[in-house]
Amino acid sequence: MSVFITFWASLVNILCLPLHLIKAVGLYEGYKRIFPFCCNRITGMYNKKMHERKQQLFRSLSEFAPARGPLTILEVGCGTGANFQFYPAGCRVICTDPNPHFQKYLKNNIEKNDHLTYEKFAVASGEDLGSFGDESVDVVVCTLVLCSVADITATLREAIRVLRPGGAFFFLEHVAADPSSWTYFFQHVLQPAWYYFGDGCAVTRESWKNLENAGFSDLKLRHIEAPLAFIIRPHIVGYGVK
């Protein structure tokens, strides 16, 4: 199948030449203003279909609350704040995202979820959380983010650094399908175009390998089939304990 993947992916790459050119001259940056609007529309549909799975995942958050004081959550790549409704009441939420244009939609979700204490929003990539101190948070949440960061290993290293001992890294990510499947074929063929649609998103990443090698003392990781479009149906979900 690899020969067919290479051929068809090359063809899609050729068709994407105008997009490559737009990015090369810097015009693609304008899409970063539009992308949050698209995400805001898509997030509602995603949350509706993934509600039960998110509920099950974030039910474990309270297990990592400190003996004294509120649970402090750092959400990396918070986007529009799609996870807020699943967080336990009273916890402190700190948000980061490399795209500052998400703040408009983030504000709306903050107002809707007044059971949380919103701390601040910082423009930062997952690979560089330098504005946060070592062992400063109880939980790091990262959903649909590892697909688009420049360096998964560096992102996980930063997440572990800011986690207190015994804290946890929560994740929910779409990943590459089984290599023998047609989904895998189409993921690799359509990836050149998908990159631009998803603002750098990759549907071909095997992120579970990075998580397995990140050095967590305990890793709860499951592969699931999400009730979504076939190209992003394969998911991993769980958390790793520092």
Q: Are 57 and 240 in contact (CB under 8 A)?
A: no
Q: List alpha helices for 59-133, DSSP H.
A: 103-112
**What DSSP designation does 98 have?**
S
Return the DSSP state at 218: E
Summarize pLDDT for 108-156 with one digit per residue, the tens.
Answer: 899 999 999 999 999 999 999 998 999 999 999 999 999 999 999 999 9
Residue 186 is encoded by which pair of tokens? 């189409």
Integer Cα distance of 40 and 188 in angstroms? 26
Predicted confidence band at 163 (pLDDT cuts at 50, 70, 90)?
very high
Query: Would you call 171 exposed, middle or buried from its count of C-beta atoms within 10 A (0-12, 13-18, 19+)?
Result: buried
Q: What is the DSSP letter of 56?
A: H
| Domain count of the fold of the chain | 1
pLDDT at 164: 97
Could you tell me if residue 124 is left (phi over 0), alpha (psi between -120 and 50 degrees) or otherwise beta? Answer: beta
The helix/strand/coil state of 5 is helix
Full domain range(s) for residue 212: 1-61+69-241
What is d(CA 4, CA 209) in angstroms, rounded to the nearest whole number? 25
Cβ neighbourhood burial of 114 (10 Å; 0-12, 13-18, 19+): exposed
| pLDDT recorded at residue 112 | 92
| Of 132, 129, 135, residue with least CA distance to 151 | 129
* Per-residue 3-state assignment (H helix, E strand, C coil) for 152-163: HHHHHHHHHHHE
pLDDT at 20: 86
- pLDDT at residue 32, as a whole number: 85
pLDDT one-digit tens code per residue, 56-114? 999 999 999 998 889 999 999 999 999 999 999 999 999 999 999 999 889 989 999 99
Kindly report the average pLDDT of the chain as a whole number: 93
Residue 1 has pLDDT above 80, yes or no: no
pLDDT reading at 228 higher than 90: yes
What percent of the chain stands above pLDDT 90?
76
Return the higher-pLDDT residue of 75 and 7.
Answer: 75
Q: What is the CATH number of the domain that holds 81?
A: 3.40.50.150
